[in-house]
Amino acid sequence: MPTLPVDFNAQKLPSVQSRFSLAMPQDPVQGIGMRQVSDALYSLVSPTSVSQPQTLLWSSDVAFDLGFDEAFCTSEYFAQLMSGNQLFPGTAPFATRYGGHQFGNWAGQLGDGRAINLGELPERNGRLLNLQLKGAGPTPYSRGADGRAVLRSSVREYLCSEAMHFLGVPTTRALSLVLTGDKVVRDMFYDGNPEKELGAIVCRVAPSFTRFGHFQLCAYRGETELLKELIDHTIASDFPELLQTASEQASGEFTLYLRWFEQVCRLTADMLVHWQRVGFVHGVMNTDNMSILGLTIDYGPYGWLDSYDPNWTPNTTDAQMRRYRFGQQAAIGQWNLYQLANALLTVIDDKDALQSILTDYAAYYDEQSLAMMGRKLGVQLNKGEADSAFLDELETVLQLHETDMTLFYRLLCNFQPEDSLSDIVASAFYDPQTLSADTKDRVDAWGKQLSQRIQVQQLDAKQRKAQMQKTNPYIVLRNYLAQEAIDLANQGDYSMLHELEEAIRDPYKQNPQFAKFAQKRPDWARSRAGCSMLSCSS
């Protein structure tokens, strides 16, 4: 495969390396043939060329951090690079091996079935970022699939990862979205009616793409030394501050591993608190989709709550079990961490210490969640029966009548102690004409409880509103908005893609230009494919 010239348009392209592939053992078998890989963590594999790459979207701030200018990102060379048709100097592309629990069941070897890692490039601040092409062709881990991705899922991946970043949610980023010029066959509804769809590739960016499943598969295979190598590499590359502290304290190996696991638990909890804050539902919280850095990763059947419903999941595959529903995400996070802890038991002979850390996860999550809810409501909340009952009643109130979560909390920013809460949040109700008198009274009664807290705490109205508006977004990437943009893009109209990309960059600002993106889900989108629930087909 040809590589890019060293200089393009007066911009010298950096050489790409990978600490992961340099440090970890490589699969000795070459080629993309599906196989079980033992005693190795990655396989060398090149992207499969595409016919006519065309850049649809590119992130200006990710590009800037990597030192790429606009001329480069709008060039043909950039499209060739981001499709895998050409490579950065020094690139040795690879796919990694991992396993995981899927919907609660051990699935064995999984791996990067259509994600091909290019390696690391330095940010302007010196931090190294991994570039990964999703949809660039088959790998040894594709399990018989084609390794490609379609435009609809790639649009969702690109827009959602960028939306989450600007919402302040820990996430992988997206550098680019490229059309391949080729068609991909997919059975979106798994009903025996496959269709040809536009192919696309997203370049994902993150400090690390290491997942819980990387560690799990080593443990399940009995590869104890390889597991230790992976933990040591992960700490050195992604948690170097722990090494410095361990050196100062002369800690032992197991103590270092435990402190690392504790940090992973806290990062996971922080991510989940942010998900709950903005009403995001991941939809596929399998252990192979859990980042060791607490980053939101693998945007498949995700969604934001339109009407508030703790039992809602966006994943059609999970429609019956609702394992990954909104209200259970924190508990699933802990379950997944238990599975990681089980893997670590093979090298950490201290079950009680691991159990203690997992117990602390729940306490830490509750503490951070309470603080987050205080910021959403603009009051100080305390651990105890009174505020617990106050929050329980809020959750009940939000479900008495179909209520848009995002609009409710945004409108709540305008609430003052003398107001009728039901009047302030009226436009957050779906079909407000049917709001019963009893429901209105109960909403207002909860509003009076909120008023009492505001008055007792003597909060400054302007400061309180400003804080709430920084916590409660004006715009989220609702599924129906993404679907509208996808429908247009499939017809060759990319205008809404660019408009949405601009709108999600400043989601807390009440910008009249983007008011149309801050509306309740329309009735036509309630049950339409792509607007309510999504399948795993991508």
Q: Of 342, 374, 406, which residue is a domain's last? A: 374
Amino acid code (one letter) for 208: S
- Determine, yes or no, domain membership for 487: yes
Mean pLDDT of 103-112: 98
Same domain, 362 and 235: yes
- Same domain, yes or no, for 99 and 32? yes
C-alpha to C-alpha distance for 277 and 494, rounded to whole angstroms:
30
Same domain, 224 and 353: yes
pLDDT of residue 408: 98
Tokens for 115, please give them. 């994600």
Q: Output the DSSP codes for 220-250.
A: HTT-HHHHHHHHHHHHHHH-HHHHHHHHHHT
Residue 465 lies in a domain: no
Given 319, 354, 374, the domain boundary residue is: 374
57 & 196 share domain: yes
Q: Half-sphere exposure (CA, 13 Å, Cβ side) for 465? A: 11
- 85 and 145 in a single domain? The answer is yes
The distance of Cα 26 from the centroid of its chain, to the nearest Å, equals: 28
Tell me the HSE value of 470 on the side-chain side, using a 13 A CA sphere: 10
Q: Convert the pLDDT of each residue in 292-341 to its tens digit.
A: 999 999 999 999 999 999 999 999 999 999 999 999 999 999 999 999 99
Q: What is the mean pLDDT of the chain?
A: 94
Name the band, by pLDDT with cuts 50, 70 and 90, for residue 538: low
pLDDT of residue 536: 75
Check residue 247 and give its pLDDT.
55
CA distances from 95 to 11, 45, 191 (A): 29, 7, 30
Q: For the chain, what is the total number of helices (H) and then of strands (E)?
A: 18, 14
Which residue among 288, 298, 387, 404 is the active-site one? 288
In a domain, 155, yes or no: yes
pLDDT of residue 535: 73
Residue 204: pLDDT over 90: yes
Residues 314 and 269 placed together within one structural domain of the fold:
yes
Residue 463: inside a domain: no
**Crossing angle between the packed helical segments 224-238 and 253-278, to the nearest 10 degrees:** 60
Q: How far is the C-alpha of 99 from the C-alpha of 211, rounded, in Å?
A: 9
Is residue 136 a part of any domain in this protein? yes
Assign 6 a pLDDT band (cuts: 50, 70, 90).
Answer: very low
82 and 97 belong to one structural domain = yes
pLDDT in tens, 264-296: 999 999 999 999 999 999 999 999 999 999 999
293, 442: one domain: no
Residue with tokens 């949405």: 500
Q: Is residue 531 part of a domain?
A: no
Q: Does one domain contain both 386 and 311?
A: no
The bridge status of strand 173-186 relative to strand 115-122 is: unpaired
One DSSP character per residue, 105-124 reads EEEEE---SSEEEEEEEE-T
**Top-confidence residue, 8 or 509:** 509
Point out the domain boundary residue: 357, 374, 391: 374
Whether the CA torsion 528, 530, 533, 538 is positive or negative: it is positive
174 and 225 belong to one structural domain: no
Dihedral class, residue 174 (left if φ above 0, else alpha if ψ from -120 to 50, else beta): beta
- Residue 425 is encoded by which pair of tokens? 């949040």
Long-range contacts of 71-75 (CB under 8 A, 24+ apart): 71/9, 71/11, 72/8, 72/9, 72/11, 73/176, 75/8, 75/9
Measured CA to CA in angstroms, residue 269 lies from 37, 311, 512 at distances of 32, 20, 34
Q: What are phi and psi of 528, to 5 degrees?
A: -75, 140
pLDDT tens-digit map of 130-175: 999 999 999 999 998 999 999 999 999 999 999 999 999 999 999 9
Q: Is residue 470 part of a domain?
A: no
Domain total in the chain: 4
416 falls within a domain: yes
Domain that residue 153 falls in: 7-209
- In three-state secondary structure terms, 34 is coil
At 387-420, the pLDDT tens digits run 999 999 999 999 999 999 999 999 999 999 999 9
Question: Would residue 67 be called left, alpha or beta, if left means φ above 0 and alpha means ψ between -120 and 50 degrees?
Answer: left
Integer Cα distance of 143 and 126 in angstroms:
37
Task: Tell me: do 287 and 435 sit in the same domain.
Answer: no
| Same domain for 347 and 275 | yes
Where does the pLDDT of residue 67 fall: very low under 50, low under 70, confident under 90, or very high at 90 and above?
A: very high
Question: What does R_g of the chain's alpha carbons equal in angstroms?
Answer: 24
Task: Give the span between the Cα atoms of 397 and 439, in whole angstroms.
Answer: 8
Is 288 part of the annotated catalytic residue set?
yes
| CB neighbours of residue 461 within 10 Å | 12
> What are the DSSP E strand ranges found in 271-385?
280-281, 303-304
Separation CA 325–CA 318 (nearest Å): 9
Q: How far apart are CA 166 and CA 169, in angstroms?
A: 7
Residue with tokens 């259970």: 328
Rounded-to-integer distance, Cα 394 and Cα 404, Å:
14
Q: What is the pLDDT of residue 250?
A: 52
Q: Write the single-letter amino acid at 108.
A: G
